[in-house]
Structure 1
Amino acid sequence: MLLLAVLVMFAGPLLASLPFLGVLDGAGSGLPPGAAVGLQAGFQVLSCVIVVALVVGWRRLMHRPVVAAGLTWSRAGALRFLVGALAIAGGLTAVRLVAVALGAMEFHTWSDADLGGLPVVAVVGAVVVQALVYQAFPEELIWRGHVTDVLRDRWSPGTVLVVTSVAFGLLHIFSQGGQETVLDHAAYVTMAILLGFACGAARLRTGGTGAAVGVHAGFHLANNFLPATAGSVVADALVMGVALAVVGAGFLLARRVPG
């Protein structure tokens, strides 16, 4: 089960990259910035579509209804998403404000180099597509949706929360976030495990995967739109990890969200 989930998670970007070979890599470096961003967004959307198709097919082979994965296109689902997104955005903002007040972090704004010659609206759109469509939605559909739904048939909710969080976090050993040393990688993976914990706690408390998608997307959006740094991968991961742990614990202690 977990191995298949990993394969599906990596299959989306891999298969989606095939139509873009020679365009999204160095061969496409001569493209205008707007075209490059558009192609990148197209790749990310295609990757999401492939992951969704694979998960739906997987569930049908297992004779499990897609709705049981916790995703519902309803007012309740939208409410869960907003609760998750606002919870992590507020939590991360609060922790960063405290860190800045203590002199452990400092805020910085987007520079012209960050914008890459593009209008702000285009950069914001690209960040939203990456956070929601490429990262949050497909990853949560797999881990807090399908995998959680299957594993809870045999394990307790707490065990499922721990297993899915650790498995999800360990995959981020392959992520590139400025890590150089072993300690950097350990800190980054720990932060990713706590992201899985916060998303899993939101799923457990609200009963819907929409809240997990909200937490995941809100984390990336807040991280991009309220940028602050402590000057090292370990320190940055520590601040983000604290926020994720607090939000996850908050979900577990809170009353169930209606709907």
Structure 2
Amino acid sequence: MTLVMSFPARRDCRGRWNTPSLRAMNVQASEIDPQHLRPLLPLNWWGLFLRAIAATVILMAANMARSIPARWYSGVGEETRLAYNTAWFVLTPVLVFLAVWAWMRWVERAPLRLTGVAGGRRAVSGMLGGSALVACPMVVGWFVLAAVGGGLNSGPETPGGGETAVGVAVGVAYVLVRAYVLQGFPEELLYRGWLFSIVRDRPWVAFWFTTFSFMIIHLASAGGQQNVVERLVYLVLPLGMGMLAGAVVLWRGSMWWAVGTHGGMHLMLAVLTVAYPVELGTASWLVLGLAQVIMAAVILALWHRQPREQDREGFRVRAEDM
């Protein structure tokens, strides 16, 4: 039998985390030390703005760090290069994790577990559930693009190491690690983990703050944009991704569902490109982004209709009844 218990995740007027929210995140009582639960930065508009800037700097620095080891194997073959890239993808989430740990310890003065990063079985189920959920708008959007495009079009090739079994395995590992380890986990730890958790007692603030912070950083993304207009249109895609990720965190109470929707979007993009390539550009950014916006709206409606006793402002904790 599974029991579902809900505790509100709130701070008091001085910014301290209350005891129920700490229990909800499985934080040990020994970690509840008042002197460590007062944030160094206030949770007003400029405090949130500084945190959003810090998240951007952390993510950019962690991604740029991979360029250093990439120089060591620049002259190798494609299969070897993909294998090395796949291995070094791990560097980014490690650096992001360490940065968030340090920020939570010395700035938020709260336990790292408050972000929801400690998951266990819940992490696996969240990633699988989020991946399955995002597949729906991705497939529907792809059908729309195929119908509008009038047939097969040339799309970007999915990285692969060749026709050999080893090459295929390297290509599959590259796609999976890139989707979930390089992109899904570190970005969601920053936005739906750290930034979302600090204002979780104000769910709509948490939702829109993290959604727009996540969207804005993609102005620097290299997704094939050729001019300013295309860069602005491209933002519809991360807008949909951010809304869907925020919606599932509110609905399911777990950062790992956001990791699943984020990584699953990139995985589905690779799979659908191989299965039925379409032209990727302004139309695809709009269609796939809006499809995720619609899915997010449906999930937000489900979350809003949940009984009050499930506390839609809090974290839900599952405990096995022995």
TM-score, scaled relative to structure 1 = 0.87
Task: Tell me, yes or no, if structure 1 residue 139 matches structure 2 residue 187.
Answer: yes
- How far does the alpha carbon of each residue in 1:170-219 deviate from its partner, in whole angstroms, 9 at most, with x for none? 11111111110222111111211221111111111111100000000000
Q: Distance in 2 between matches of 1:160 and 1:68?
A: 14
Quick check: 1:84–1:211 contact (8 Å CA) kept in 2?
yes
**How is 1:213-232 mapped onto 2 (pairs within 5 angstroms)?**
213-227=259-273, 231=279
Q: Distance in 1 between matches of 2:169 and 2:92?
A: 23
Q: Distance in 2 between matches of 1:150 and 1:105?
A: 47
Q: 1:35 to 1:194 in 2, by over 3 A?
A: same
Aligned residues: 251
Quick check: 2:161–2:168 contact (8 Å CA) kept in 1?
no
Aligned to 2:100: 55
Quick check: 2:218–2:238 contact (8 Å CA) kept in 1?
yes
Q: Indicate which of 92, 116, 121 corresponds to 1:75.
A: 121
Q: 1:180 to 1:229 in 2, by over 3 A?
A: farther
Q: Distance in 1 between matches of 2:168 and 2:225?
A: 28
Q: 1:232 to 1:93 in 2, by over 3 A?
A: closer
Quick check: 1:72–1:210 contact (8 Å CA) kept in 2?
no
Hey, which of these two has a bigger chunk of helix by percent? 1
CA shift for structure 1 position 70: 1.8
Q: Distance in 1 between matches of 2:63 and 2:212?
A: 22
TM-score, scaled relative to structure 2 = 0.71
Q: Distance in 1 between matches of 2:113 and 2:280?
A: 42
| Structure 1: runs of 5 or more not aligned | none
| Structure 2: runs of 5 or more not aligned | 1-50, 307-315
Aligned to 1:17: 67
Quick check: 1:16–1:50 contact (8 Å CA) kept in 2?
no
Identity of aligned pairs, percent? 27
Quick check: 1:44–1:129 contact (8 Å CA) kept in 2?
yes
CA shift for structure 1 position 117: 3.0
Aligned to 1:46: 91
Aligned to 1:117: 162
Larger radius of gyration: 2
Task: Tell me, yes or no, if structure 1 residue 85 matches structure 2 residue 145.
Answer: no
- How far does the alpha carbon of each residue in 1:132-161 deviate from its partner, in whole angstroms, 9 at most, with x for none? 1110000000000001111335xx211221
Aligned to 1:238: 286
CA shift for structure 1 position 73: 2.5
